[in-house]
Amino acid sequence: MSRPLPLVLAQAAQRAADDLDGLAADVRKRTAGLPAAPLIVYPELHLGSPLGGTALEPAEVPEALAEPLDGPRGRALAELAGDLGVWLAPGSLYERGADGRVYNTAPVYSPRGERVVSYRKIFPWRPYETVAPGAEFTVFDLDGVGRVGLSICYDAWFPETTRHLAWMGAELVLNFVLTSGSDRAQELVLARANAIVNQLFVASVNCAAPLGTGRSLLVDPQGNVRSEAAGDSDTTLTDVIDLDEVTNVRRIGTAALNRPWQQFHPDDQALALPLYQGRIDPATWAGATAPTTLSRPPSELRPALGEVRVP
């Protein structure tokens, strides 16, 4: 079997929050000639510059740009995805929540012109990032292809994030990034490490210059770098990944050796986890990954925490 997913990673410079015409032209350019319904991914806060070049202090930007996900910007993004027939992950946005707080939120829109999911960054980069943290891990299903998990920049530094997304059934994790400092080299290591230990694809999409340091990359479930931007210039990485590669690696093993999702047997003793005031229960270790040794169907092992959102 094969489950191909055309993937477009747009290492692009940040643009003004109201430059939706520019975004539409950019999506058209980067997806021209590609197979139908590709998934196109932009960096963190891609639509994050002040409107019309307005001069604002960094701390003022989130409040100034935030709007509800179902506001004019969100409706325009949904229409854009529908008009172009793409899965659009436009990077994260400043969202004004119903509670009045501002979140760093990544929405995804389907080729049907619908917002199918949104994820609020759980680990803002404190103290510099002043938005409120989210509290739900989030995955969504691509019609007939597979399941995708969402994370934003600093989330990748916390192994619990990608592990939980994998447990929820993610086969590809999109990490939207806006890194302008000296730690991009470490993030490249983290992208490979998260892919290896969870046996899934990781796409780490960073902002281009002048704000970002670039070096976006796509990593396969064994930790091999499939493609990488050489520097910080505007770059488009395209690929067609096969999500069945995740199934095969988890079944056969990384390097034909390691099968961590089959580590426990249902009758093994539970492992206490004092850090989380909880434990690993062998009976539920595999989550939604569905290796061949599951004693119960994946539908019975859905996580109680977080949310699985299926359009």
pLDDT tens digits for 194-215? Answer: 999 999 999 999 999 999 999 9
- The four Cα atoms 66, 68, 70, 71 give a dihedral, to 10 degrees, of -50
pLDDT at 37 over 80: yes
- Residue extents of the structural domains in the chain: 4-252
At residue 286, the pLDDT reads 79
Task: Enter the tokens of residue 127.
Answer: 């103290």
- Integer CA distances (angstroms), 111 to 3, 67, 134, 140, 306, in order: 18, 23, 26, 14, 25
Buried-exposed string 85-113: b where 16+ CB fall within 10 A, e elsewhere: ebbbbbbbbbbbbeeeebbbbbbbbbbeb
**Of the ranges 40-54, 147-161, 261-275, 296-310, which one carries the lowest mean pLDDT score?**
296-310
**Of the ranges 63-72, 198-207, 253-262, 292-301, which one carries the lowest mean pLDDT score?**
292-301
CA distance 116 to 311: 5
User: Residue 65, Cβ neighbours under 10 Å: how many?
Assistant: 24
Percent of the chain surpassing pLDDT 70: 92
pLDDT tens string 116-142: 999 999 999 999 999 999 999 999 999
Listed residue (79, 95, 7, 88) closest to 45, CA to CA: 95
At residue 296, the pLDDT reads 32
Report pTM.
Answer: 0.90
- Integer CA distances (angstroms), 138 to 17, 97, 108, 234, 247, in order: 24, 17, 11, 29, 20
> How would residue 292 be classed by pLDDT, with cut points 50, 70 and 90?
very low
pLDDT at 72 over 60: yes
pLDDT at 289 over 90: no
Three-state SS sequence of the chain: CCCEEEEEEEECCCCECCCHHHHHHHHHHHHCCCCCCCEEECCCCCCCECHHHCCCCHHHHHHHHCECCCCHHHHHHHHHHHHHCCEEECCCEEEECCCCCEEEEEEEECCCCCEEEEEECCCCCCCCCCCECCCCCEEEEECCCEEEEEEEHHHHHCHHHHHHHHHCCCCEEEEECCCCCCCHHHHHHHHHHHHHHHCCEEEEECCCCCCCCCCCEEECCCCCEEEECCCCCCEEEEEEEECHHHHHHHHHCECCCECHHHCCCCCCCCEEEHHHCEEECHHHCCHHHCCCCCCCCHHHHCCCCCEEECC
> How would residue 305 be classed by pLDDT, with cut points 50, 70 and 90?
very low
pLDDT at 95 over 80: yes
CA distance 123 to 30: 30
Q: Quick check: 211 and 180 in contact, CB under 8 A? A: yes
* CATH homologous superfamily for the domain 4-252: Carbon-nitrogen hydrolase (3.60.110.10)
Percent of the chain surpassing pLDDT 90: 81
> How would residue 56 be classed by pLDDT, with cut points 50, 70 and 90?
confident
